[in-house]
Amino acid sequence: MSNIQSDALVFYGATGDLAYKQIFPALQAMIKRGRLNVPVIGVAKAGWNLDQFKVRALDSLEKHGGVDQSAWEKLSSLLRYVDGDYAAPETFQAMCKELGNAERPAHYLAVPPVLFEEVIDQLVKSTCSRNGRVIVEKPFGHDLASAQKLNRILLAAFPESSIFRIDHFLGKSPVQNMAVFRFANSFMEPFWNRNYIESIQITMAEEFGVQGRGTFYDKTGTIRDVMQNHLFQILCNLTMEPPPRVDSESVRDEKVKVLKAIHPLIAENVVRGQFKGYLDEAGVAPESKVETYAAVRLESDSWRWMGVPIYIRAGKKMPVTCTEVRARFRRPPTVFRGQEQHHDYLRFRVSPEMTIAMGVTVMAPNAELTGVSTEMIVSRQPRATDVAPYERVLGDAMAGDASIFARQDYVEEAWRIVDPVLNQATPIAQYEAGTWGPGDTINKRVVPAGGWNNPVVPDEEVMRVPTSQPLSPITATHS
């Protein structure tokens, strides 16, 4: 049933924060695009009725994106609600009744992983899991052992082809655009390898802190929260081999190969930091050693990338909010004055805008045979052009397209890489809020040659362009 459309959507945790901020706006967007015309059954334990549930949904739309009256009326007509405990068989009996004649429901578990087993168990007992799909929200495990346990729970009730593990980062168009740019342009292949690329940097900077999620974050940390999932997905799109076909399994096969070639992390290749003031956040332990910043150096044994260090860093309370990749080219023999000062590069930006740019060396204006660094912007688009990640992932899951979802072996390989350092007492360095982390002197092994390239976010006015057009097809700016 991999390509058969689901004929109902049941989502557990329907009164929670994720549903309020992301799911209801995504459902309205799906209706506007003609991707949703089946019952939507919310399940939660809030003591509510259907009318109260609809009030919550409408308030969600008003606060997060706005109400499209026609789409809202359609969504309201599709909404159902079941109130009850996830451990109670009668909750699932009521849910099955609301499903009516639906034969291929999609069950979306927007609940903490600790509840997965309970919900799956009741689903199986109610028989409503039959011919259905299950969509599970990250975090998918806390380490390798817990991820393997969750996989066993899911696979006891659903075949792998019916399991959709959400990483909403893969719902972002810029992440997919990396693979399109790589494989759709013939000029990329000759230099996209160890012969021409010296190193790769991936940076995910967040200007904000834990935003009231101290209790969750203090059990998670940066490596678990964004590195082994979001940033590894970016890494895979950057470095995978071209799939023989574009079906979901062929694409996911290549991503797993990327991770299989990467060495497990060792303490010498990790830097952890914590912004000053983190210990004052609500829910954070008084002497917490959880990182709010992490930088790692990865090494691959793949034929294409052996010998090319891959540096990944992510942190909170940084100067900007931005996710960006920079691949640094090896320097050619020096011929012109000034050339030895510059390294050319290819830059992919995921957010706040979608950008593909290339740093090159050209002759300086009014200077004879002297090189100067210039950046050519191939494409730049504001994020307003992007389909919202949850609209994409829910729509694809209900359509049975697993291309942007993590497979069991992928999840376990990602945890294999980070698992060795998760519980090690590696040092944690304090850093000031609004800076780029603990600094490059902590561990030189985790600093790219030439240092980290800190992203610069353009003024919002620069990016305020019609959503159907890129800012500039090809421009060049000196840097």
Catalytic (active-site) positions: 230
Residues 6+ apart with CB under 8 A from 244: 250
C-alpha to C-alpha distance for 84 and 344, rounded to whole angstroms: 59
| Residue 115 · residue 140 · CB < 8 Å | no
Residue 43 neighbours by CB distance under 10 Å: 27
* C-alpha dist (Å) from residue 323 to 75, 358, 453: 33, 17, 12
CA 345 – CA 358 distance, rounded (Å) = 6
**Phi, psi (degrees; rounded to nearest 5) at 399:** -85, -5
160-177 core/surface letters (b: 16 or more CB in 10 A; e: else): eebbbbbbbbbbbbbbeb
Cβ 294 vs Cβ 273: under 8 Å: yes
Q: Which two tokens stand for residue 468?
A: 């159907």
Residue 359 has which token pair?
């740093």
Strands 353-363 and 345-351: antiparallel
Work out the end-to-end distance of the chain between its first and last CA atoms, rounded to an integer number of angstroms.
53
Residue in this structure with the two tokens 């050519």, named with its chain if needed: 376
CB-based contacts of 69, cutoff 8 Å, min separation 6 = none
Distance CA 36, CA 6 (A): 10
Residue 55 CB-density burial (10 A; 0-12 exposed, 13-18 middle, 19+ buried): exposed
Q: What is the DSSP string of 386-414?
A: SPPHHHHHHHHHHHT--TTSB-HHHHHHH
| Residue 40 Rama label (left phi>0; alpha psi -120 to 50; beta) | beta
> Which helix (DSSP H) or strand (DSSP E) does residue 380 occupy?
strand 371-382
Contacts 24+ apart (CB under 8 A), 298-302: 298/235, 298/262, 298/263, 298/265, 298/269, 298/417, 299/262, 299/263, 299/269, 300/239, 300/258, 300/261, 300/262, 300/263, 301/261, 301/262, 301/263, 302/239, 302/257, 302/258, 302/261
Q: Are 80 and 105 spatial neighbours (Cβ–Cβ below 8 Å)?
A: no
